[in-house]
Amino acid sequence: MTGRINTLAIIGVGLIGGSLSLALKKHNAVGRVIGVGRSQANLDEALRLGVIDAIATLEQAAKADIIFVATPVAQMPRVFAELAPHLGATSILTDGGSTKQDVTAAARAALAERFSQFVPAHPIAGTEKTGAAAAFATLFEKRKTVICAEAETNPHAAGVVAAMWEKAGAEIHRMSAAEHDDVFAAVSHLPHLLAFALVDMLAEMPRSADYFNYAASGFRDFTRIAAGSPEMWRDISVANRAALRGQLGAYRARLDAFDRWLAVADTDAISAIEAGYSRASKARNAWQKHIEYGEPMPPLGGVSRDG
């Protein structure tokens, strides 16, 4: 399999699973794509749109060359358990879950001696939309896919999965599952929790109508991610709760400091508020230049301590 995948099975033909199929089809990198899912209507739509070539059972999917599990992470333990007894001897199983330690543990438990056939992965892409109809071929172009191989992971299998994502346009990054979960707790899962918590708090307040009436563009952008799927983010938050609580604890301590400074509001406290805002503003502006123009990030310890 040095290039073309004969049969790809997608478990969960939504935005992520469907877009991978369309990207590989576009680059003629896959022969046949079969889809498995809970919603017949969604599978019919996927078939109609050419996102998949056939609807399959889990047992059929388990014999594919590559089986991509793109369900919400909370469903993966059950999916792995149902695939395990039927998994083809040379089939490669991989996933697209947003958390990696829990998914890897579930795969290890379900697959036992076949755990080497499993390649934990996370494509860093998405939109607010869901379902096969939301899929598009360029979703992963120039985006990162993180592969979190374990000691037991078959290196050939990891290479095949990496090649598949590169065909779909992604850039491959490798790190441990623990590193992955810490990084995404910090830059994705925590911001989602913070945005959900703010909108939830405001919506429940007696003056909520006034609040939403005067909210403007800053609020719009800050809370955009609070429009996301409650079920998906509940699953991610719970699945990655150890790392998320670590980052949340650090954040609550930072808020405590700002609250103390606001309570005191003497010269030193006001300077401390400004120093914090200033470190943030410098880092955020440097990062914007990095993502927009490819400028290197300055050393952030330096940014943060010289600010």
User: Within positions 265 to 284, which residues make up the interface with its own copies, using CB under 8 A?
Assistant: 265, 270, 273-274, 276-284
Smallest distance, Å, CB 99 to its own copies? 13
Specify the 3-state DSSP secondary structure of 174: strand
Q: Which stretch binds its own copies (CB under 8 A): 6-14, 19-27, 107-115, 178-186?
A: 178-186
**Which among 73, 98, 29, 44 is positioned nearest to 243, based on CA atoms?**
98
Which of residues 47 and 124 has its CB atom nearest to its own copies in the complex?
A: 124
Which of residues 28 and 271 has its CB atom nearest to its own copies in the complex?
A: 271
Q: Kind and range of the H or E element at 17? A: helix 15-26
Q: Torsion over CA of 92, 97, 101 and 105, rounded to 10 degrees?
A: -50
Smallest distance, Å, CB 198 to its own copies? 7
85 forms part of the interface with its own copies (CB under 8 A) = no
Residue 207, classified by CB atoms within 10 Å of its CB into exposed (0-12), middle (13-18) or buried (19+), is exposed
Total number of residues that touch its own copies (CB under 8 A): 97
Smallest distance, Å, CB 114 to its own copies? 29
Q: Residue holding tokens 């703010």?
A: 198
Q: Kind and range of the H or E element at 95? A: strand 92-95
Specify the 3-state DSSP secondary structure of 96: coil
Residues 7 and 35 sit within 8 Å (Cβ to Cβ): no
Interface pick for its own copies out of 50, 250, 295, 306 (rule CB under 8 A): 250
27 forms part of the interface with its own copies (CB under 8 A) = no
Residues in 108-127 that interact with its own copies by CB under 8 A: 124-125
Which of residues 163 and 194 has its CB atom nearest to its own copies in the complex?
A: 194
Smallest distance, Å, CB 85 to its own copies? 29
**Which among 127, 126, 131, 128 is positioned nearest to 39, based on CA atoms?**
131
Q: Site map for its own copies, 200-239, x if CB under 8 A?
A: xxxxxx-xxxxxxxxxx-xxxxxxxxxxxxxx-xx--xx-
> What CA–CA distance (Å, rounded) separates 3 from 157?
13
131 forms part of the interface with its own copies (CB under 8 A) = no
Q: Site map for its own copies, 132-171, x if CB under 8 A?
A: -----------xx-x-------------------------
Q: Report the sign of the C-alpha dihedral through residues 34, 35, 40, 45, in that order.
A: negative
289 forms part of the interface with its own copies (CB under 8 A) = no
Residue 95, classified by CB atoms within 10 Å of its CB into exposed (0-12), middle (13-18) or buried (19+), is buried
